[in-house]
Amino acid sequence: MNASSKPAVLLLNFGGPRSLDEVETFLFEILRDPNTIQLPVPGWLQDRLAHFVARRRSVEVSRQYAEIGGRSPIVAATERIAEGLRKALDANGHALPVYVAHRYLPGDARRAAQALVADGVTSLLVLPLYPHFCFATTGSSVEQLHEALRDAGYTGECQAVRSYPDSVGYTRALAARLEECLRKQQLAPEGTLILCSAHGLPADYPRRGDPYPFELLRSLESLRQRFPEWRLALSYQSRVGPAQWLRPYTDELIPTLAGEGVKNLVFVPLSFVNDHIETLYEIGHTYFELARRSGLTPHRATAIEDHPDFMAELARFASAWRQGHGAVPLADLLPPSQAFRRQGAWLLGLWLLAFGLALGAALAG
């Protein structure tokens, strides 16, 4: 790295409503994202649909947020991670400024891009707080940041860490949180299932090249190696709509477990660095109740958040980057263009229709 450059790190995260007043806008931002909700329709139509669904869903989702404190804990927790990373970088002699951008907080990526340009940053490392690469999370966040950096006039170098599903520090932190839960609840391997419940994804996304489920399996295998006496499984939660998503579904798996001799069910938030509504409410309330009705005793390991092993891992990524390895150009992580699916297919269909009508008229004449 050039000695005259001014390097910095930027953490990418999902974001969440900071109050109940932000819930509807937050839902709208998610639903209008073409990388998350991949509809074969033009952008203006997806925005209309997103507004409609966000208005209808916001009442129930606001109620759920009210039960976990009236806001998402992600934003505050990410600031703690940023501060933990600053301290870890200081400790290993590679002090760097650390910025944060949340994908679904409107204007947050733009704010972060403008701040680092104003601060004179010339070399940037992007660290996604998504351990597993997915075009709907990492790819979407990278695309938004890429556009924000361009609009802010950033002309420096920009690289990113792609993913780290089985990296040492991430796996240690995950294992430590799980060990804390097992020890606190005094659980034994017999009769216990450790269920790694990950955020779901429509089943056709991996068929179109998304590596997400394969990276989850790498994390699962890393945990199995650390807990060889325990039974572990992977399932998927948070599906929406009628389409087929990755299986097995968490809510369909739970009722079958008592018949397999399971008595204690331990949830591990495999794909979530932060605790948020999907761990605190969907798992901690909805799935806990389902487990109890199914004759199981549920438990939940907390998310890794700013665990020291994870902080040390992020600092190692930054140190390796400063030494010229371990990162890729940010543009390499951009999701595939959906321009044809969203507009080109419609235009082609209209052209074919017009051609057919003209041909029919010509033959009839």
Residues 149 and 47 in one domain: yes
Residues 22 and 108 sit within 8 Å (Cβ to Cβ): no
Residue 354 lies in a domain: no
Residue 329 within any structural domain of the chain: yes
Q: Is 355 within the bounds of a domain?
A: no
Tell me: do 293 and 330 sit in the same domain.
Answer: no
Query: Do 126 and 114 share a domain, yes or no?
Result: yes
Our CA dihedral for 306, 307, 309, 314, rounded to 10 degrees, sits at: -10
Q: What was the pLDDT predicted at 345?
A: 53
> Do 125 and 183 fall into the same domain?
no
Q: Report yes or no on 224 lying in a domain.
A: yes
Segment (H or E) for 100: strand 98-102
Note whether 86 and 130 are same-domain residues: yes
Query: Which element (helix H / strand E) includes 207?
Result: helix 204-207
If asked whether residues 52 and 109 sit together in one domain, one would say yes
Of 170-174, 190-194, 360-364, which range is least confident?
360-364
| pLDDT higher than 80, residue 146 | yes
Look at residue 333 and tell me if it is in a domain. Answer: yes
The total domain count for the chain is 2
Residue 355 has a pLDDT of: 44
Tell me, yes or no, whether 68 and 92 share the same domain. yes
Q: pLDDT tens digits for 24-39?
A: 999 999 999 999 888 8
pLDDT at 42: 87
For the ranges 169-173, 190-194, 207-211, 344-348, the lowest mean pLDDT is seen at 344-348
**Count of C-beta atoms within a 10 Å radius of residue 275:** 21
Domain boundary among 249, 276, 300: 300
Of 31, 41, 33, the C-alpha closest to 340 is 41
- The chain-wide mean pLDDT, for the chain, equals 92
If you compute the radius of gyration of the chain from its CA atoms, what whole number of angstroms results? 22
Q: Which has more confidence, 350 or 100?
A: 100
Could you tell me the pLDDT band of residue 267, with boundaries at 50, 70 and 90?
A: very high
Residue 98, pLDDT score: 98
Residues 50 and 95 in one domain: yes
Q: What is the CATH number of the domain that holds 314?
A: 3.40.50.1400
- Would residue 67 count as lying in a domain? yes
CA dihedral defined by 175, 181, 184, 187, rounded to 10 degrees? Answer: -90
Q: Is 323 in the same domain as 270?
A: no
Q: Which of 270, 300, 330 is the last residue of a domain?
A: 300
Please compute the mean of the pLDDT values over residues 225-248 and round it to a whole number: 93
Same domain, 266 and 325: no
* Residue numbers of the domain that contains 51: 7-164+308-342
**296 and 334 belong to one structural domain:** no
Is 361 part of a structural domain of the chain? no
Q: How many CB atoms lie within 10 A of CB 269?
A: 25
Please state, in angstroms and rounded to a whole number, the distance separating the CA atoms of residues 303 and 268: 8
The verdict on pTM exceeding 0.95 is no
90 lies in some domain? yes
**Strands across the sheet containing 297-300:** 231-237, 192-199, 264-268, 297-300
Residues 158 and 258 in one domain: no
The reported pLDDT for the residue numbered 30 is 94
Rounded to the nearest angstrom, the gap between the alpha carbon of residue 58 and the centroid of all alpha carbons in its chain is 21
Amino acid occupying residue 227: F
Residue with tokens 């390991």: 301
**pLDDT of 359 strictly over 50:** no
Residue-level pLDDT at 233: 98
Residue 347 has pLDDT above 70, yes or no: no
